[in-house]
Amino acid sequence: MLGDDELAAELGSGPLGTVDNVLYAPVAGGSSIDVPSAYAMFNEARRIATELIALPSPPKLFFLTRNAQPVVDGDRANPVHAVLWGLGRTLALEHPEIWGGVIDVDESMPAVLAARHVRTEATAGDGEDQVVYRSGARHVPRLEPTAATTSDAVLTKEGSHLVIGATGHIGPHLIQQLADMGAGTIVAVSRNPGEKLKDLGRQLASSGTTLVEVAADVTDEKAMTALFDRFGTDLPALEGIYLAAFAGGPVTLADMTDDDVNTMFRPKLDALGVLNALSLTTSVRHFVLFSSISGLLGSRWLAHYTATSTFLDTFASARRNIGLPATVVNWGLWKSLADLQTDAGEVMSNAGLEPMPDEVAIRALPLVMGSDAPVRTTVVDADWPLLAAAYRTRGALRIVDDVLAREEAANGEAPESEFRKELRECPPERRREMLADHIVAMASAVIGLRPDQALDPEAGFFQLGMDSLMSVTLQRRLSASLGIALPAALIYEYPTISSLTDALCERMGYATAEQSSAAARSGLGARAQQRARARKGAAANRLKGHVG
Ligand SMILES: NC(=O)c1ccc[n+]([C@@H]2O[C@H](COP(=O)([O-])OP(=O)(O)OC[C@H]3O[C@@H](n4cnc5c(N)ncnc54)[C@H](OP(=O)(O)O)[C@@H]3O)[C@@H](O)[C@H]2O)c1
């Protein structure tokens, strides 16, 4: 137990070699906009994780946070503790062997009660690794589709809009969008703007919007104070602030240095500290933070980035709580970034995030800024089954459970396919064999085996070389060729040719009563065998000292 001493006394402690679980529970205190504390907390948690990863038989790491995740509007919000949520999501992907989970409680919860929740979660075994306790209820995060808001934000010609990160992938689209929404003056800040915005400035001028370029570092308090002093004097009064700055790059947690963290945190956390403080004496109507869906899903090699996202997310709630405007958007992957094929882009696009055309994505801005919009919105295009399959090879990702279930329900039944017709018309005693041949042919093609290669009907697909993304491809091809909606986890549920054949016969009503109970037995038996093999594999990896 590291952190809160009172909680340590409740939980007891022992030497590291003899413990199964390690808990990092920083004390609640401090102002919610205390940027140095966020650095310190992230770095401390990172170092604990790095030390555990290096152990031959590492224990599980849990975080206990206070008000990192507001559940309802007005709920206390502590962005400093929220960095542990972003770090935890990436830890779950990079080092599932040490990831236990994160539990959030209110800062007023006495240690004796918090200790009870920690013990419950450490042994819960329900696959939930992000849990919030509020007012006696246990909450878990889930993404939910929402209807578009009805009141798009409209900007006034008389105000200034300050865009930080103006020259990146998103900056110019953001500037154009603000002009389309009616902005009269847009002040574009980046450290080295060069000539990047010259053409855009000329275009905007012809349609009545003035673009003012300022070369400044947003974390330079003096420079930003001087800029803010201009609003209401030589520039129109400030109406909106938009933080879309980014710097840094991918690195594993184990290799991450303080410099990597500083570079990533500065244009987000330090920037927010400066902008928030300077905004207090203005009457801005919009304060919009560009955050990422990576904070919700995790992103390998980007623990520092995912931590900044969750800081921003909770920071927006903290601002709203004190009566100030704030909006945060967890963006999915933009096409311009995906096209660059950077490491970060590949990590995200390979995992089922569909690149959103920039011109389309930015059109969500007036909706998320509308007067009836929630403080926080996720704007993403994703292939959810593919995304879930990819992330779940590393660990639990329960946040997508509901969107997956909706998608499966919406898929419904398709018209009868050619192969389904052949099956229906053939002699009943031939159907099982035909279906088994069909599965073999499809599985071989997906894995890349020669058509004449014989497959053992009892061998597991994953033993034969299938990976999680191939399993989704096989599930989809079977769905299409049979004309039935099949669950994304089909191949995990029925991981051999034999068990899958029985299950599909049953699903299509071709199984006899005897075959039906055999299908249930073979599915369970095959899964049990697979699990035993997986356990054996994991133990072997630990002995060899492999991680990830
Ligand atoms: N693109 C995506 O797919 C995506 C997805 C999810 C979320 N987001 C979020 O959206 C935002 C913008 O992303 P992007 O892809 O446009 O990033 P980007 O292409 O890397 O651009 C970053 C911008 O920030 C500026 N900047 C960096 N440090 C600065 C500082 N200290 N002071 C002032 N300006 C600074 C850069 O200009 P200088 O270097 O000249 O200062 C540049 O204009 C980021 O917050 C990112 O996290 C993007």
Q: Which atom of ligand 1 is nearest to the CA of 169?
A: 16
| Residue-averaged pLDDT of the chain | 87
Question: How many whole angstroms separate alpha carbon 519 and alpha carbon 504?
Answer: 9
pLDDT digits (tens, 9 = 90+) for 72-110: 999 999 999 999 999 999 999 999 999 999 999 999 999
**Of the given ranges (152-156, 251-255, 267-271, 348-352), which has the lowest mean pLDDT?**
348-352
> In this structure, which long-range contacts are made by residues 54-59, counting pairs with CB atoms below 8 Å and at least 24 apart in sequence?
55/16, 56/542, 56/545, 57/542, 58/97, 58/98, 59/16, 59/19, 59/20, 59/21, 59/22, 59/98
The C-alpha atoms of residue 276 and residue 253 are separated, in whole angstroms, by: 29
The per-residue pLDDT for range 396-406, each reduced to its tens digit, is: 899 999 998 88
* Most informative mutation of 35, 174, 246 for ligand 1 (most atoms within 8 A of CB): 246
Separation between Cα atoms, residue 362 and residue 371, nearest integer Å: 18
The pair of structure tokens assigned to 386 is 């593919």
Q: What's the rounded Cα separation, in Å, for the pair 284 and 319?
A: 12
- Cα(206)–Cα(253) distance, rounded to whole angstroms? 48
- Site to probe by mutation for ligand 1, drawn from 162, 163, 164, 170 as the one with most ligand atoms within 8 Å of Cβ, is 170
CA–CA–CA angle 167, 169, 174 (5° rounding): 75
Residue 168 CA to ligand 1 centre (angstroms): 5
CA distance 523 to 494: 5
How many angstroms does the Cα of residue 31 sit away from the middle of ligand 1? 27
Closest C-alpha among 208, 240, 228, 237 to residue 368: 240
Q: Which of residues 102 and 348 earns the better pLDDT score? A: 102
∠ Cα 15 16 22 (to 5°): 120
Mean pLDDT for 195-214 is 97
Give the three-state DSSP class for 11: helix
Residue in 87, 36, 101 with CA at minimum distance from that of residue 306: 87
Task: Find the length of the chain.
Answer: 548
C-alpha 171 – ligand 1 centre gap (Å): 7
**What confidence tens digit (pLDDT) does each residue in 54-68 have?**
999 999 999 999 999
3-state secondary structure of 91: helix
> What is the pLDDT, as a whole number, of residue 343?
52
pLDDT band (50, 70, 90) for residue 425: confident
Residue entry with tokens 């500083």 = 262
Which segment of 143-147, 235-239, 507-511 scores lowest on mean pLDDT?
A: 507-511
Compute, in angstroms, the gap from residue 479 CA to the centroid of ligand 1: 41
**What pLDDT, on a 0 to 100 scale, did the predictor assign at position 29?**
73
| Domains present along the chain, CATH in parentheses | 2-139 (3.40.50.11460), 160-384 (3.40.50.720), 412-544 (1.10.1200.10)
pLDDT, greater one: 361 or 12: 361
The pLDDT tens digits of the residues spanning 271-311 come to 999 999 999 999 999 999 999 999 999 999 999 999 999 99
Distance CA 228, CA 231 (A): 5
What count of other Cβ atoms lies within 10 Å of the Cβ of residue 503? 21
Distance from C-alpha of 385 to C-alpha of 376, rounded to nearest angstrom: 24
Nearest protein Cα to ligand 1, atom 36: 165
What angle separates helix 418-425 from helix 468-482, to the nearest 10 degrees?
A: 60
Distance 268 CA to ligand 1 centre (A): 9
pLDDT digits (tens, 9 = 90+) for 453-500: 888 889 899 888 888 788 888 988 898 888 887 877 788 889 999 999
CA distances from 108 to 64, 104, 135, 204, 491 (A): 13, 12, 11, 51, 46
Whether ligand 1 lies within 6 angstroms of the CB of 267 is answered as yes
**DSSP string over 53-90:** HTSSSPPEEEEEEESSS--STT----HHHHHHHHHHHH
Q: Is the pLDDT at 414 greater than 80, yes or no?
A: no
**Token digits of residue 546:** 């492999």
